[in-house]
Amino acid sequence: MTTTSGPLLITGATLADGTRTDLYLAEGRLADPASAPAGVERLDADGLLALPGLVDPHTHLRQPGREDAETVASGTAAAARGGFTCVHAMANTTPVTDTAEAAEYVAALGEREGHCEVRVVGAVTKGLDGEELAELGMMADSAAGVRLFSDDGRCVGDSLLMRRALTYVKAFDGVIAQHSQDVSLAGPGACCHESEWSGRLGLPGWPSQAESIIIARDVQLAELTGSRIHVCHVSTAEGVDVIRWAKARGIRVTAEVTPHHLLLDTSLVAGYDTTFKVNPPLRTSEHLEAVREALADGTIDMVGTDHAPHARQDKDHPFDVALPGMLGLEQALAVVMEVMVGTGRMDWPTLVERMSTAPARLGQVPGQGRPLAAGGPANLVLVDPAARATVDASASRSRSRNNPYDGRDLPDPVVATFWKGRRTYAR
Ligand code: NCD
Ligand code: ZN
């Protein structure tokens, strides 16, 4: 559901590799600019970068069940504002996306109301209860064509169940995406990183090992089953080390990091502002350095926003009681530019790989993450690499306001987003 636009000739854009080019958008695809008729609508992109539309492997859209916090329409509008042309909708909705019918329902909502492509992530276990496998095969065979499964928000704790899930999805080249948190070590009460800060603030913390212990188990189960594992929102140096070890062994593992774990550290919880309560928690600077380095060298394959909108009444509580999660779609590119590109750790082609190509490959989304060449789908974002602005949470397209970057000076890169040739966002 997005404004239809006619053919458009974008002139003088710069691609990620530095080449200057014109781009002709017609009938949802990129066509030869020489074929553009005289008098066609033009957009001068001098000084702007044209990148393939961003793909988020990890988005909470909250519909069905919590439309007060976010809907497919509002969440994908925020995605378009952030330069995304595809998001993967996580399964922890009400009801949970654990059947073919539920998956088809979310897919149809995406078709009807999405401002970008909505791919459905199915639950691994029924009701996310960690006890019995969900309808994995039927979700895969459904019209939603689910390939990615996750109990995100919860960790599949039982090793045998995890082994069965990995074995099951291997038959159709599916992937289990794990929220890695050993709840026997980091109980449900744990609400920040276990460090000097948690002690001082009197908040129950969870150690980084509660993440890396599960990653270590899961990569070994992936090796045992010959299946594929994806590690959600890696936040620790220990987690990175395990993934590096697994990759060196040839284990089929991919991993994502969130924008907030690249930029924000645990000292932000000192004011007990529940905007900064998130799972996994914000960590210390050594961990931030480790995930930055891993994203640069490819140990971490991609960025996943973990966009987690929450209504005010779920955040207006004491820190240990408030729901965890923060917004991420609208500032994701800005944060990656600030932390990775602006500091010289990453070039633009690598950013495209981490924010578009790799997540499209993970989700097996054929029309996304493709180079901007004639014949390909017209999914792209125009980026002003020099623009900056102060983030204003109240200006968000999301229904929620738990934006951890509110008031921060950051790049403000997204000039326009096009999905299937239609403008889904314009500044
Ligand atoms: C997520 C949510 O709110 O759904 N919360 C969060 O803190 N990240 C669940 C999750 O991804 O863990
Ligand atoms: Zn999670």
Say how many Å lie between the CA of residue 234 and the centre of ligand 2.
10
Could you give the number of structural domains in the chain?
1
pLDDT band of residue 55 (cuts 50, 70, 90) is very high
For the Cβ of 178 lying below 6 angstroms from any atom of ligand 1, the answer is no
CB neighbour class for 392 (10 Å; exposed up to 12, middle 13-18, buried from 19): exposed
* Each residue's pLDDT tens digit, 292-303: 999 999 999 999
Backbone angles phi, psi at 193, to 5 degrees: -70, 135
User: pLDDT of 133-180, one tens digit each?
Assistant: 999 999 999 999 999 999 999 999 999 999 999 999 999 999 999 999
Burial of 12 (0-12, 13-18, 19+ CB in 10 A): middle
Question: Is residue 167 included in any domain, yes or no?
Answer: yes
Domain with residue 183: its CATH number is 3.20.20.140
Instruction: Please report whether residue 414 resides in a domain.
Output: no
CB of residue 182 inside a 6 A radius of ligand 1? no
Ligand 2 centroid vs 90 CA: distance in angstroms? 9
Q: What is the mean pLDDT of the chain?
A: 97
Compute the distance between CA of residue 264 and CA of residue 188 in angstroms, rounded to an integer.
22
Enclosing domain of residue 154: 52-371
Q: What are phi and psi of 186, to 5 degrees?
A: -120, 90
Question: β-pairing, 388-390 with 409-411?
Answer: antiparallel
Note the pLDDT of residue 199. 94
Ligand 2 center to 214 CA (angstroms): 13
Q: Is 60 in the pocket of ligand 1 (CB under 6 A)?
A: yes
Distance, first Cα to last Cα, the chain: 18
> Does the pLDDT of residue 290 top 60, yes or no?
yes
> 360 lies in a domain?
yes
- Which residue's CA is the nearest one to ligand 1's atom 11? 153
What residues does 383 pair with on adjacent strands? 49, 414
Atom number, ligand 1, closest to the C-alpha of residue 308: 3
Q: Does 76 fall in a domain?
A: yes
Q: Please, which residues have CB less than 5 A from ligand 2, an ion?
A: 152, 179
Q: Which one of 183, 276, 306, 320 would you pick to mutate in the ligand 1 pocket, going by the greatest count of ligand atoms within 8 A of its CB? A: 306
> Ligand nearest 66 Cα, by number?
1
Quote the ligand 1 centre to 32 CA distance (angstroms). 43
Place of tokens 């919590």: 66
Q: Is the CB of 153 under 6 A from ligand 1?
A: yes
Query: Is 46 inside any structural domain?
Result: no
Q: Mean pLDDT throughout 309-313?
A: 98
Tell me the DSSP string of 73-119. Answer: HHHHHHHHHTTEEEEEE-S-SSS-S-SHHHHHHHHHHHHHH-SSEEE
> Catalytic residue positions?
306
Over residues 389-406, the pLDDT tens digits come to: 999 999 999 999 999 999
For residue 217, pLDDT over 80 is answered with yes
Q: Is the pLDDT of residue 1 over 80?
A: no
Structural contact between residues 260 and 332, judged by C-beta atoms closer than 8 angstroms: no
Residues with Cβ within 8 Å of 254's Cβ and at least 6 positions away in sequence, in order, are: 175, 228, 229, 230, 231, 301, 302, 358, 362
Residue 418 vs residues 17, 344, 403, 406: alpha-carbon distances, Å: 20, 28, 24, 26
**What are 335-351's pLDDT values in tens digits?**
999 999 999 999 999 99
**What is the pLDDT at residue 208?**
98
399 CA → ligand 1 middle, Å: 16
Tokens read off for 318: 């004491």
Beta bridge partners of 20: 14
Omega within 30 of 0 (cis) for the link into 207 = no
- Residue 2 pLDDT: 47
Q: Is the shortest distance between the CB of 66 and ligand 1 below 6 Å?
A: no
User: Is residue 394 assigned to a domain?
Assistant: no
Pocket lining: 92 vs ligand 1, CB cutoff 6 Å: yes
Specify the higher pLDDT residue, 188 or 90. Answer: 90
How confident is the model over 202-212, as a mean pLDDT? 97
d(CA 78, CA 399): 9
Extract the tokens encoding 309: 């909108």
Check: CB of residue 121 under 8 Å from CB of residue 146. yes
For the four alpha carbons of 298, 301, 306 and 307, in that order, the dihedral sign comes to: positive
Is residue 140 situated within a structural domain? yes
Q: Is the CB of 152 within 6 Å of ligand 1?
A: yes
Considering the domain boundaries, does residue 143 fall inside one?
A: yes
For residues 310 and 204, what is the distance between their CA atoms, to the nearest angstrom? Answer: 22
